[in-house]
Structure 1
Amino acid sequence: MPSMPALLGLLALLSLAGCAGSGPYQALQVASGLSSQLVCIDTLQSGLPLARSLQQRVLSPGAMHLVGPVLDVQVDVAQRRVRSSLAGLLVSQATLRDGMGCLLQWPGDPAPHTPGLPPLADGQLPDLPSIAGPAVVAPATPALRQALARGFDEGGARPPALNTLAVVVLQHGRVLGEQYAPGVGPATPLLGFSMSKSLTHALAGMLVQQGRLQPDAALPFKAWQTPGDARASITLAQLMRQTSGLALRQDNSGTDPNSRMLFIEHDKAGWALQQPLHKPPGQAWAYTDGHFVLAGRLLRDAAGDSPQALRDLAQRALLGPLGMQGTTLTLDATGTPQAASMFVAPARDWARLGQLYLNDGLAGGRRLLPAGWAHRAATPTLDTGYGEGWWTNARGGERMAAWDLPWGLASAPRDAFFARGFMGQYTVVVPSRGVVIVRMGISSLRGDAIEAVNQLVGEVLAALPE
């Protein structure tokens, strides 16, 4: 039961907000919806304790701690459901569905496109050679053991801020060492946040390889086909390079358009399609999840315009051949992949994705992605350190002015490129060393813990043979 001052404060804020859609009211809606979806993933998919999910995942970022006194989150394991509310108001719900991940819903939302997907057919053997056996792989050398241990070392911080969950190190396609937090292991699916964008790039490459998509062709969205609509020239490559020019501002304040799209809107891609241009396509870089929400709709449509068609195709042509058996492509209520931030996979599956890019799209001699697709991912966009769905290391530790954070990893070679997700999710590919490093956690350190991860990557590379 919330305290009376906290309850009165929330009611006053709702009163000031006046109506749904205004800034403070939207921020409170986002807080409820975010809580439901993230706790659903953490507790029902990853098996993490509710207290850990609330304290580290939900209440630590930004101003979320302000709603702590009035936030109520209930987990119903039997019904596979999480409900969140703020002082009994703004009730949201997330439900874990078979093969589709956690679906966030609000009262009055239309019924979902489908309640779940049938189990995948058994028997598909991976083309990518096994990266490890089922047991945790002990670090191959004392130096690597020390490097991994330091990746979990909080340095006495209380409360802990690094909160590393998993580190996996591959070299030449085999795990040389890995370490996990208590309760986490090689098969534990973990939220990738924006590493989902890099997996989306692979899914797009799969469809390009099959001739179903052209990355540099104008997008066929009907909403943009009115004569004179400049959005009709936007390409898939511009979405994945974050240069569409669409007005999809993201600052993660809860009041921004991107937050509304992710945690309030029923049809996320449909909402993004309605947004106007802010700048001409291709001329400016602006990071936003909205680009990959739209890419997710394009993938669904190209695969057969149904969630099952996309899931089955992805399994046959990408996930299955890689051995990514623990990966869930989370879908929204319309059956569209939440391709910007909500894909869930074990650390080893993220490592398998990195190995595919290290191999330029080949798995066991079979081409899953077009030749040069990894080069596209690692080629910088305009004057940034961002590539196509992946971050590049072309600018190393040089700091970006807008965020006052490093573009890349100063401790890694310049040929490295990496998937990067909120709260410290990283899949680092180092072609010159034949290395893939995955780090996952629930970090409250600024900038997705990039400076701590930079240190980890440097120490791991120093511990590996050339």
Structure 2
Amino acid sequence: MHRSISIVSLAVMPILLTGCGSLDRATGVATGFVSHQLCSAAFVSGVEPETFYRESIAPTLGPVEFLVSHRLDRERAEVTATFAGLAPSRSVYRGPLGCLVLRGNPPAPVSLPQASAFPALLPPIAGPEPVEPADPALRAALDRAFTERSAPPLRQTKAIVVVHNGRVIAERYAPGYTMDTPLPGWSATKSVTNALLGILVRQGKIAVQGPAPVAAWTSPGDPRHAISVDNLLRMSSGLDCGQSLTASARDAFDPSAHMVFGERDMAAFAASLPLKATPGTDWTYTNCNTLLLSQIIREKTGGDAAAVIAFARRELFDKLGMQHVTLEFDAVGTPIGASHMFASARDWARFGLLYLDDGVAGNERLLPEGWVDYSATMTPGSEEFGYAAGFWTNRGPGSGTHYRIAHGIPADAFMARGAYGQYIVVVPSQRLVVARFGTALDMRNDMDGVARLVADVIALTPRSQAATVRP
């Protein structure tokens, strides 16, 4: 989440000294990243691809960007990227399955269920046009959130939706983005994985405690047999799978980055890794944990991508009224539940409302009673950052929570959060959800700007509930 996957920035030069195997792996991850993200931008989000490349991809490549080339083929709906003419990676668009980096043989076609027409349990949160706040002070708060810095690192805010008491009181979109644009959640996708797991827990199909149902670990003699779903949600599995939190000179061949951009069966790769610590004793934020949870979801909902999509639509997206969602999958049908879901800003805000309302939508409980508090309870060992179970949290001690609270996000708040500055901030005490999306390239991913926006909205909310529709 926290790292904006800068997988080759300042990294490839030292890799050149490490041998051909490391170089092949690192450059393959880099070109996989470029082709996949550009494919998703062009064919899932529908934004202008070269603008996206300049804003969101080129800066992560740093001084070696000139060695990377890409080609977008609209007729074949694919993107190819190479590094210095080598390590080609091709990503293809697969409609409702999103984009996929091809590794080995193309996956078999997937017969998808027909889109359902179930009415949403949540009432409408806004009308058909963007909501312009009536209060000039709230409009000024949006102005500040969209104001660009005079020099890099840029903020590049693309969408903001503010929901108070179940209604949008303010929203805005950057040029080229609309209410319907599917926006990448990056690691905010982990919070959606949390919801899908919660539904399965409520249905009695998964237990949070006890050995996680991972086939590779079934032997009681395997030390990984002790890993629980709770450990995976809380990033305390002890698996030796690198880290997905901060940037380093070795990101280009970090195992978690290789898993997402270099592996055909992502969860199988994660399941094959050894332990580096006893489960439950070490907090290390890595995408491998969430890909294993994604595999569990796949297996418990029918075993393939079509079954996962049907389950997610029927039990979550349709009930919340989320209409512009694309969940991407790997080649074996496991959702890339750590990082690759796209949804409109209003859809992401609706998702936040489920957690604001204790897992209830309308009059129906989707998540088990107590699941939201469980999800927002800090994990021991994460105090520097403030991580819970698929969400980031202010509920507990540590420098991470102290910083956020000091800058204006209340102590009871928690958030889905993704790389480059994707936020869905849930503040139960204020009946507030603030969704912000963009490509913030500073070290904190515009946390200061988001905190200022939340603080501004809280200060203004008592007199900002009236809204007008932008003509």
Q: Spell out, residue by residue over 1:124-151, the C-alpha distance to the aligned partner (whole angstroms, 9 max, x if none).
A: 1101111112211112311111111110
Q: Spell out, residue by residue over 1:100-158, the C-alpha distance to the aligned partner (whole angstroms, 9 max, x if none).
A: 1111114xx1331x43443533421101111112211112311111111110101433x
Q: Tell me the equivalent position of 2:73.
A: 76
2:405 and 2:97 mapped to 1: Cα distance? Answer: 33
Alpha-carbon distance, 1:260 to partner = 1.0
Kindly provide the amino acid, as one letter, of the partner of residue 438 in structure 2: G
Change (3 A) 1:75 1:285: same
Please point out which of 93, 96, 103 is paired with 1:96: 93
Q: Tell me the equivalent position of 1:46.
A: 45
TM-score normalized by the length of structure 2 = 0.90
Q: Tell me the equivalent position of 2:121.
A: 127
Change (3 A) 1:94 1:125: same
More off after superposition, 388-397 vs 136-145: 388-397
Change (3 A) 1:446 1:15: closer
TM-score normalized by the length of structure 1 = 0.91
Q: Tell me the equivalent position of 1:3.
A: none
Change (3 A) 1:125 1:202: same
Change (3 A) 1:227 1:179: same
Q: Spell out, residue by residue over 1:170-229, the C-alpha distance to the aligned partner (whole angstroms, 9 max, x if none).
A: 001110010000011111001100000011101111111222111113112121123411
1:325 and 1:268 mapped to 2: Cα distance? Answer: 27
1:209 and 1:349 mapped to 2: Cα distance? Answer: 23
Change (3 A) 1:396 1:436: farther
Kindly provide the amino acid, as one letter, of the partner of residue 139 in structure 2: R
Please point out which of 80, 105, 109 is paired with 1:110: 105
Q: Tell me the equivalent position of 2:277.
A: 279
Kindly provide the amino acid, as one letter, of the partner of residue 124 in structure 2: S
Q: Tell me the equivalent position of 1:144.
A: 138
Does the Cα contact within 8 Å between 2:229 and 2:293 map onto a contact in 1? yes
Q: Tell me the equivalent position of 1:7.
A: none
Q: Tell me the equivalent position of 2:54.
A: 55
Q: Tell me the equivalent position of 1:311.
A: 309
Instruction: Indicate whether 1:294 and 2:292 are aligned.
Output: yes
Alpha-carbon distance, 1:380 to partner = 0.7
Where 1:354 maps in the other structure, the secondary structure is helix
2:272 and 2:441 mapped to 1: Cα distance? Answer: 33
Alpha-carbon distance, 1:19 to partner = 2.5
Q: Tell me the equivalent position of 1:4.
A: none
Q: Tell me the equivalent position of 2:423.
A: 426
Where 2:410 maps in the other structure, the secondary structure is coil
1:456 and 1:11 mapped to 2: Cα distance? Answer: 37
2:279 and 2:397 mapped to 1: Cα distance? Answer: 27
Q: Within 5 Å, which residues of 2 pair with 1:145-160?
A: 145-157=139-151
Change (3 A) 1:224 1:77: same
Kindly provide the amino acid, as one letter, of the partner of residue 305 in structure 1: G
Does the Cα contact within 8 Å between 1:14 and 1:25 map onto a contact in 2? no
Where 1:290 maps in the other structure, the secondary structure is helix
1:116 and 1:460 mapped to 2: Cα distance? Answer: 44
- Superposed CA RMSD in Å reads 2.1
Q: Spell out, residue by residue over 1:53-86, the C-alpha distance to the aligned partner (whole angstroms, 9 max, x if none).
A: 212211213xx12231121111112221111111
Change (3 A) 1:111 1:408: farther
Work out the percentage of aligned pairs sharing the same amino acid.
Answer: 40
Alpha-carbon distance, 1:447 to partner = 2.4
Kindly provide the amino acid, as one letter, of the partner of residue 86 in structure 2: L
2:409 and 2:14 mapped to 1: Cα distance? Answer: 47
Change (3 A) 1:304 1:391: same
Does the Cα contact within 8 Å between 1:132 and 1:175 map onto a contact in 2? yes
Q: Tell me the equivalent position of 1:5.
A: none
Does the Cα contact within 8 Å between 1:411 and 1:454 map onto a contact in 2? yes
Does the Cα contact within 8 Å between 2:404 and 2:451 map onto a contact in 1? no
Alpha-carbon distance, 1:13 to partner = 8.1
Q: Within 5 Å, which residues of 2 pair with 1:45-444?
A: 45-61=44-60, 64-106=61-103, 109-112=104-107, 114-118=108-112, 120-157=114-151, 161-250=154-243, 251-252=246-247, 253-383=251-381, 384=383, 385-395=386-396, 398-399=399-400, 406=403, 410-444=407-441
Does the Cα contact within 8 Å between 2:408 and 2:452 map onto a contact in 1? yes
2:335 and 2:406 mapped to 1: Cα distance? Answer: 30
Alpha-carbon distance, 1:278 to partner = 0.8
Where 1:183 maps in the other structure, the secondary structure is coil
Change (3 A) 1:287 1:262: same
Alpha-carbon distance, 1:393 to partner = 0.9
In structure 1, runs of 5+ residues without a counterpart are 1-9
Kindly provide the amino acid, as one letter, of the partner of residue 436 in structure 2: R
2:51 and 2:268 mapped to 1: Cα distance? Answer: 34
Does the Cα contact within 8 Å between 1:148 and 1:460 map onto a contact in 2? no
Change (3 A) 1:373 1:16: same
1:329 and 1:265 mapped to 2: Cα distance? Answer: 18
Kindly provide the amino acid, as one letter, of the partner of residue 387 in structure 1: A
Alpha-carbon distance, 1:363 to partner = 0.7
Where 2:161 maps in the other structure, the secondary structure is strand
2:14 and 2:165 mapped to 1: Cα distance? Answer: 56
1:233 and 1:305 mapped to 2: Cα distance? Answer: 24
Does the Cα contact within 8 Å between 2:236 and 2:284 map onto a contact in 1? yes
1:140 and 1:337 mapped to 2: Cα distance? Answer: 41
Alpha-carbon distance, 1:425 to partner = 0.2
In structure 2, runs of 5+ residues without a counterpart are 1-10, 464-471
Aligned residues: 445
2:13 and 2:411 mapped to 1: Cα distance? Answer: 52
2:109 and 2:143 mapped to 1: Cα distance? Answer: 42
Q: Tell me the equivalent position of 2:469.
A: none
1:324 and 1:447 mapped to 2: Cα distance? Answer: 28
1:234 and 1:398 mapped to 2: Cα distance? Answer: 28
Kindly provide the amino acid, as one letter, of the partner of residue 261 in structure 2: F
Kindly provide the amino acid, as one letter, of the partner of residue 131 in structure 2: V
2:420 and 2:409 mapped to 1: Cα distance? Answer: 20
Q: Spell out, residue by residue over 1:231-266, the C-alpha distance to the aligned partner (whole angstroms, 9 max, x if none).
A: 111111110111111111115511211111111111
2:413 and 2:12 mapped to 1: Cα distance? Answer: 50
Alpha-carbon distance, 1:422 to partner = 0.3
2:206 and 2:260 mapped to 1: Cα distance? Answer: 25
1:174 and 1:388 mapped to 2: Cα distance? Answer: 27
Change (3 A) 1:197 1:12: closer
More off after superposition, 256-265 vs 215-224: 215-224
Alpha-carbon distance, 1:269 to partner = 0.5
Kindly provide the amino acid, as one letter, of the partner of residue 226 in structure 1: S
